[in-house]
Homo-oligomer: A and B are copies of this chain.
Amino acid sequence: MEKSSKNLNWKEKLHEIIYEADTKEGKLFDVVLLFAIIASIVLVMLESIESFDEKYHYFLNVSEWIITILFSIEYILRVVSIKKPLKYIFSFYGIIDLLSTIPKYLSFILVDSHSLVALRALRLLRVFRILKLARYVGASNKLLVALRASRAKIAVFLFFVVIVCIILGTIMYMVEGEENGFTNIPKSIYWAIVTLTTVGFGDIAPQTPLGQLIASVIMILGYSIIAIPTGIVSSEMTKNHTELDSNTQSCKSCATENHKDKAAYCYHCGSELNA
């Protein structure tokens, strides 16, 4: 039933290299992609530093074109090598892959136009390329299982925190008033969140004795209730979870992942996998 790696046609070979990491070429492809993603993010950051952008504008421009063309080729190859391209194109990663390549091309069309400001925003979309890195974090499965199991409790906790901040923020607005920086209720709620989460920027701080007393209560409350999410996750982690299968294979027809280690057929669409 199994085909030897030699007998695969070019599309199947490409699929194995791009979507899987079992072969030597597949691993090399992934490492190159990894560095390209990191390089593209570093470029976005450097471009935002004005003094750097002025000095090395030409270098940044060329580098971005290289990265953009690389990502474009990758995108085309991904579309070509899969059996059901539309499923990939409209998948979460498909959209991110496309959005990663667009901004630089738009700058080509819109050059010397007045829409440079909007373009700038589009360019920043490239930072989402970092989400591609999520593909390399197979070990996060166990963590996610524990978090998913405690989802309901954490939601209740967050709901409680938000309500407490709304009530305490409103009280602080009444106590401190506009003259001490608590200019309106949303800002007071923002301050209550800053304080309860023990961040404490200090841009707004209570001035009246009563305000400082209430602030003390908020801080001690925030200091204590952090025990709640911690307790939830700790107890969930202490339980035994069964190991999840982690396999880098990806179905050639529908791009489904997370196949069992010994799977011969896709659990989603039933087409044959390279065992």
Which A residues fall within an 8 A CB radius of B? 41, 44-45, 48-50, 121, 124, 127-128, 130-131, 133-134, 137, 139-140, 142-143, 146-147, 152-163, 166-167, 170, 173-174, 183-187, 189-190, 193-203, 205, 209, 212-213, 215-216, 219-220, 222-224, 226-238
B197 contacts A146, C-beta separation under 8 Å: no
A235 contacts B237, C-beta separation under 8 Å: yes
A193 contacts B174, C-beta separation under 8 Å: no
A194 contacts B200, C-beta separation under 8 Å: yes
- Copy number in the complex reads 4
A163 contacts B205, C-beta separation under 8 Å: no
Quick one: given A166-B41, A198-B198, are A236 and B230 in contact (CB under 8 Å)? Answer: no
Point out the residue from B137, B173, B234 that lies within 8 Å of A159, measured CB to CB.
B137
B199 contacts A195, C-beta separation under 8 Å: yes
A73 vs B142: C-alpha distance when bound (angstroms): 50
What chain B residues lie within 8 Å of A137 (beta carbons)? 156, 159-160
What chain B residues lie within 8 Å of A223 (beta carbons)? 161, 196-198, 222, 226, 229
User: Closest residue to A53 on the B side, CB-wise?
Assistant: B184
- State the majority secondary structure of interface residues on A: helix
B45 contacts A185, C-beta separation under 8 Å: yes
Point out the residue from B167, B174, B209 that lies within 8 Å of A121, measured CB to CB.
B174
What chain B residues lie within 8 Å of A209 (beta carbons)? 186
B224 contacts A154, C-beta separation under 8 Å: yes
User: Closest residue to A162 on the B side, CB-wise?
Assistant: B220
Point out the residue from B160, B203, B216, B235 that lies within 8 Å of A202, measured CB to CB.
B203
Q: A127-B170, A143-B157, A231-B233 are in contact. List 4 more A-B contacts (CB 8 A).
A: A41-B166, A130-B166, A143-B153, A203-B205
What chain B residues lie within 8 Å of A205 (beta carbons)? 201, 203
A158 vs B213: C-alpha distance when bound (angstroms): 15
User: Closest residue to A144 on the B side, CB-wise?
Assistant: B156
A199 contacts B212, C-beta separation under 8 Å: no
A222 contacts B199, C-beta separation under 8 Å: yes
A219 contacts B238, C-beta separation under 8 Å: no
Point out the residue from B121, B159, B197 that lies within 8 Å of A198, measured CB to CB.
B197
A146 vs B228: C-alpha distance when bound (angstroms): 9
What chain B residues lie within 8 Å of A131 (beta carbons)? 163, 167
